[in-house]
């Protein structure tokens, strides 16, 4: 089901250099999308527009057929989208359970256990967890809010290759099993190759592309 649509989106910085030119794309639930592109191509700008953090100069963004400006950008951010950051953005004096409970519409502990934390780890201060564990908490917090669209900006950028692969698998499984629309901005071809749909942004235009990487031992096994 199409949950989000960008129609003829144009965006330029103040000096007039176009970043997005007549971008038109549909996003469906139950799929993971990867957005690739060179630095400065507008990947983060695209994510900001989808998330209601900025507005296009031309075109419209529809959530379930309704322009997000009609319900209000604050309403869109609160009810329709959740964000996952490269730097995790966890509250450092809280436990994983407490962090997830901030947005939870479901049991925080059950979700953390599902994403690979132990019950004991879920009760530790988040600063005592590894980077991969902290990113799992950040993903759990996004999933707990029960929004249909999840936006992830370089979610594996601070992680080693093996942990990055595990986090990528979690994102894709969450999209499929929980019927989420998972949109991930990344520089990693390996991460992108695991997505259901790969989009390449360059010179203001966005294109669907195919990637291939050799399967990891985890994928072969």
| pLDDT tens readout for residues 34-85 | 999 988 889 999 999 999 999 999 999 999 999 999 989 999 999 999 998 8
Q: How many CA atoms lie less than 13 Å away from 199 in the CB half-sphere?
A: 23
- CA angle, residues 36, 31, 67, in degrees to nearest 5: 85
In the chain, the domains with their CATH numbers are 1-80+189-221 (3.40.50.300)
Question: What is the spatial distance between Cα 100 and Cα 112, in angstroms, rounded to a whole number?
Answer: 8
Strands 2-12 and 81-85: unpaired
Per-residue confidence (pLDDT) for residue 60, from 0 to 100: 96
Per-residue confidence (pLDDT) for residue 104, from 0 to 100: 80
Question: What is the spatial distance between Cα 84 and Cα 100, in angstroms, rounded to a whole number?
Answer: 12
Question: Which range has the top average pLDDT, 51-65, 132-146, 204-218?
Answer: 51-65
List pLDDT tens digits, range 160-188.
Answer: 888 888 889 999 999 999 999 999 999 88
Question: What is the spatial distance between Cα 194 and Cα 210, in angstroms, rounded to a whole number?
Answer: 11
Of the chain, the percentage scoring pLDDT greater than 90 comes to: 66
Alpha-helical segments (H) within 146-220: 161-177, 189-193, 217-220
Token code pair at residue 212: 């291939």
Say which residue the tokens 């004096």 belong to: 93
Question: What is the spatial distance between Cα 28 and Cα 139, in angstroms, rounded to a whole number?
Answer: 19
Closest CA to 160 of 129, 183, 186, 130: 130
Question: What is the spatial distance between Cα 68 and Cα 1, in angstroms, rounded to a whole number?
Answer: 18
Is 0.95 topped by the overall pTM? no
Return the HEC string of 46-114.
Answer: HHHHHCCCCCCCEEEEEECCEEHHHHCHHHHHHHCEEEEECCCCCCCCCCHHHHHHCCCCCCHHHHHHH
């Amino acid at each position: 089901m199409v949950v989000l649509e960008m129609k003829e989106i144009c965006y330029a910085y103040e000096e007039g250099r176009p970043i997005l030119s007549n971008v038109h794309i549909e996003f469906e639930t139950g799929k993971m999308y990867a957005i690739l592109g060179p630095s400065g191509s507008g990947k983060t700008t695209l994510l900001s527009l989808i998330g209601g953090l900025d507005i296009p100069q031309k075109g419209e963004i529809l959530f379930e057929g309704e322009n997000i400006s009609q319900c209000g950008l604050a309403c869109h951010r609160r009810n329709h989208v959740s964000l996952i950051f490269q730097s995790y953005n966890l509250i450092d004096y809280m436990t994983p359970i407490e962090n997830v409970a901030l947005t939870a519409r479901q049991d925080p502990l059950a979700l953390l256990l599902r994403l690979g934390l132990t019950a004991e780890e879920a009760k530790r201060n988040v600063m005592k967890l590894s980077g991969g564990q902290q990113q799992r908490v950040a993903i759990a917090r996004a999933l707990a809010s029960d929004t249909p669209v999840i936006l992830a900006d370089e979610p594996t950028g601070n992680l080693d290759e093996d942990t990055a692969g595990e986090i990528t698998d979690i994102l894709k499984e969450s999209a499929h099993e929980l019927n989420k629309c998972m949109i991930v901005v990344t520089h990693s071809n390996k991460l992108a190759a695991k997505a259901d749909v790969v989009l390449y942004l360059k010179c203001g235009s966005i294109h669907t592309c195919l990637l291939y990487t050799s399967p990891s031992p985890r994928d072969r096994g």
